[in-house]
Every structure is written in C-alpha cells, then in structure tokens.
Amino acid sequence: MKIPQIQLGTWLINNDDVKKVVRQAISVGYRAFDTARDYGNQNSVGKGIWIPMFNAVIYI
C-alpha cells in the first residue's frame, strides 16, 4: 500500500465549509488529509470523511 504524496490541507477552512470541502476532495480522488487539533475543525473533517470512507482508503 502506498501513502498518497498529495494531501488536502484543512488549516484555515472553517467548520461550516470543511465537511463539504472534504467530501468534494474525496470525490475527485484525494485520499490524504492534513488536520490537527489546533485547526479547530477536526470534528467537521471527520464528518466529511465518515460516509465516503466506506468506499475508499483514507489517510489522516
């Protein structure tokens, strides 16, 4: 298994937008996401991954 070389950074994406952004990223092929507790949006990132993750391998 190879870890993707390109990932989506979630820093500065607010909670209202990040769930939609993550789902769109998964739909176009992103499988790795940069997130951290300091970003303050990790719950919404998780919600964005929750349903699509059943159909894809996701790296966080």
Known catalytic residues are: 39
Contact 43, 15 (CB under 8 A): yes
Strand-pair category, 8-9 with 33-34: parallel
The distance of Cα 16 from the centroid of its chain, to the nearest Å, equals 14
